[in-house]
């Protein structure tokens, strides 16, 4: 039986997409940036930061940086987000959280959890992760990376279903178009991603 390699083909840049799979810090940063910008822009942010910071693109190194210095890196053109100062501050805070709670290892957020509720508690404790972002991230871990603790479906609902409603459902250029079209239809109908 053939196995499928994990993939998150979202940015249009194969190297930036691979970084999301290979580097847990990049994945968490991309998810954090996924608001008020396109999914492509949000998930390309980690690659921009990696290019600027090199080996310093780790939770420990970012947490150790002066917040103003890190925000300046985020504001460099092209900026990592529509609101680079605010999002830079949020990334810095999240990096400090990962260092304090997980000894600098972002993958420890989801490895070794007993069930979906524990995973939900850990993800929702991340700075900048509200209820919807938490559910989408759990679905992303499950659908794209195979992280599926018992009960993940309930913890991620409704993003655990087969409706192409979020980044968790993007597995190809075609599914990216399907997610975009679904979001447009929901907006036109006055509904949210959770409806």
Please provide the size of the chain in residues.
195
Q: What is the pLDDT of residues 114-164, one digit of tens each?
A: 999 999 999 999 999 999 999 999 999 999 999 999 999 999 999 999 999
Contacts 24+ apart (CB under 8 A), 152-160: 152/116, 152/119, 153/116, 154/116, 155/116, 155/117, 155/119, 155/120, 156/116, 158/194, 159/135, 159/193, 159/194
Query: What is the structure's pLDDT at 75?
Result: 95
Query: What is the structure's pLDDT at 2?
Result: 39
pTM over 0.85: yes
Query: What is the structure's pLDDT at 7?
Result: 84
Among residues 109, 175, 181, the alpha carbon closest in space to that of 144 is found at: 175
Q: What is the pLDDT of residues 25-43, one digit of tens each?
A: 999 999 999 999 999 999 9
Query: What is the structure's pLDDT at 4?
Result: 56
Measured in whole angstroms, the distance separating CA 84 from the mean position of its chain's CA atoms is 16
What structural domains does the chain harbor? 14-157 (1.10.340.30)
- The burial of 120, by beta-carbon neighbours within 10 Å (0-12 exposed, 13-18 middle, 19 or more buried), is given as buried
Helix axes 39-53, 24-33, angle to 10 degrees: 130
């Amino acid at each position: 039986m053939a196995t499928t390699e994990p993939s998150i083909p979202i940015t249009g840049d194969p190297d930036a997409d691979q970084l999301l799979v290979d580097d847990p810090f990049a994945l968490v940063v991309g998810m954090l940036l996924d608001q008020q910008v396109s999914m492509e822009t949000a998930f390309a942010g980690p690659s921009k930061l990696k290019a600027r910071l090199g080996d310093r693109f780790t939770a420990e190194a970012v947490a150790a940086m002066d917040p103003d210095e890190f925000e300046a890196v985020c504001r460099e053109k092209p900026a990592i987000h529509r609101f680079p100062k605010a999002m830079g501050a949020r990334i810095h805070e999240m990096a400090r959280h990962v260092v304090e709670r997980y000894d600098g290892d972002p993958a420890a957020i989801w490895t070794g959890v007993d069930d979906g509720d524990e995973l939900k508690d850990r993800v929702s404790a991340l700075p900048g992760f509200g209820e919807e972002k938490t559910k989408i991230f759990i679905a992303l871990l499950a659908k794209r990376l195979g992280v599926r603790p018992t009960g993940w479906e309930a913890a991620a609902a409704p993003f655990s279903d087969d409706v192409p409603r979020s980044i968790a459902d993007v597995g190809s250029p075609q599914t990216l178009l399907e997610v975009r079209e679904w979001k447009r239809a929901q907006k036109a109908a006055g509904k949210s991603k959770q409806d």
